[in-house]
Amino acid sequence: MTHAAQAAQAVLAIHGGAGAMARAEASDEARKAYETALAEILTNAGRILEQGGSALDAVTEAVRLLEECPLFNAGHGAVLTSAGTHELDAAIMDGRDLKSGAVAGLKTVRNPVLAARAVMEHSQHVMFVADGAEAFAQAQGLERVAPEFFSTPLRREQLERVQRAESGQTALDHDAGASGGVPLSFPADGQKDAPLDEDRKLGTVGAVALDAHGNLAAATSTGGMTNKQPGRVGDSPIIGAGCYANNRTCAVSTTGTGEMFIRMVVAHDISARMEYAGASLEEAAHTVVHEKLLQIDGRGGLVAVDAQGNVAMPFNTEGMYRGFIRAGHAPVVAIYA
């Protein structure tokens, strides 16, 4: 295959969470703001692939830019715990050799995805949490900020709204005991595509890429779920659940009710279906999102790319902020089905 033909396959896909604004309530202005942000991030990070850079660098930069954007639930703009604090999680994986890095419970590291990458590249380990992760990031010279840097007025309002609503609702929720009052499952009464606004706690950002050299990579970063219990960790930083990349199959980054994504080992399950059962990316991703996850009321979606450059972006919520860019082409972005 010629270099030009290979380069044409290079592709980057991103998501900004499956907790999209309810379609009926989304103003044109709000929609435009999200679409513009997604397109700009795709264009900027996509340039890395266009210039022959690595999938790993492209997903790192895409997620860093998503973390910097206050619209999305990661880095600046992250949601708050029930204690009104931030605890940030991230993971990254290199499909060439399955090297991975992850962090959970960060409080002051400006870009959690850079900390995850540093764990992958500069430690013998895969995952650091809480104080140890902070210390590792500091030793790596990563930028740290005061925790308030991550807060936005919108996230504070969301926490207040959710806490007000849940104080009247907790007794009705069968998941409340296990989750500290955060309902993790959503009504199953036929509302397969029910609106999931961000107050209902979904967010997270992620990126997957195939580069011109045929390498895959994935990265995911999140503030978690609004009103989560301090110390709770979702799927985003768990390799194989919220993030996975393997050159033999695909790269996957997820968003949704993290507990269910961990239980279904979602990202690795998609890769395994391709590797062991010969499923296509589209089939594997569709089965996991629209069949497996729904069996346990798992709600959300994912972006994935395979070694041939096919892209899948399924979700079982009303919307998911998402988009992709192929080297040399304009970005394509969408929110609803």
Q: Which is nearer to ligand ASP, 2 or 295 (CB)?
A: 295
Task: Please check if 232 is assigned to a binding site.
Answer: yes
> Cβ(104)–Cβ(234) under 8 Å?
no
Produce one character per residue of 64-84: b if its CB has 16 or more CB atoms within 10 Å, e if not.
bbbbebbbbbbbbbbbbbbee
What sign for the dihedral angle of Cα 191, 196, 202, 206? positive
* Shortest distance, position 273 Cβ to ligand ASP, whole Å: 21
Is residue 234 marked as binding? yes
Q: Are 85 and 224 in contact (CB under 8 A)?
A: no
Burial class (CB in 10 A: 0-12, 13-18, 19+), 96: middle
Q: How far apart are CA 136 and CA 128, in angstroms?
A: 8
User: Is 257 annotated as belonging to a binding site?
Assistant: yes
Instruction: Give dist(CA 68, CA 214) in Å, integer.
Output: 28
* CB-closest chain residue to ligand ASP: 258
Is 255 among the annotated ligand-binding positions?
yes
Looking at the Cβ atoms of 38 and 48, the one nearer to ligand ASP is: 38
Q: How far is the CB of 151 from ligand ASP (least distance, A)?
A: 17
Question: How far is the first Cα of the chain from the last one, in angstroms, to the nearest whole number?
Answer: 35
235 annotated as a binding-site residue: yes
Q: Give min distance, CB of 216 to ligand ASP, in A.
A: 21
Q: How far is the CB of 19 from ligand ASP (least distance, A)?
A: 6
Query: Residue 183 has what DSSP assignment?
Result: -
Distance CA 224, CA 231 (A): 11
By CB under 6 A, name the binding residues for ligand ASP: 17, 19, 202-204, 222, 224-225, 234-236, 255-256, 258, 300
Least distance in Å: CB of 92 to ligand ASP? 16
Of 258 and 309, which CB lies nearer to ligand ASP in the complex structure? Answer: 258
Which of residues 53 and 223 has its CB atom nearest to ligand ASP in the complex?
223
User: Could you give the residue numbers annotated as active site?
Assistant: 204
C-beta of 49 vs 302, nearer to ligand ASP: 302
User: What does residue 180 show for φ and ψ, rounded to 5 degrees?
Assistant: 70, 30
**Residue 256 annotated as lining a ligand binding site:** yes
CA distances from 234 to 155, 178, 187 (A): 19, 13, 20
Distance CA 80, CA 206 (A): 19
- Binding site per annotation, positions: 232-235, 255-258
- Binding site per annotation, positions for substrate: 232-235, 255-258
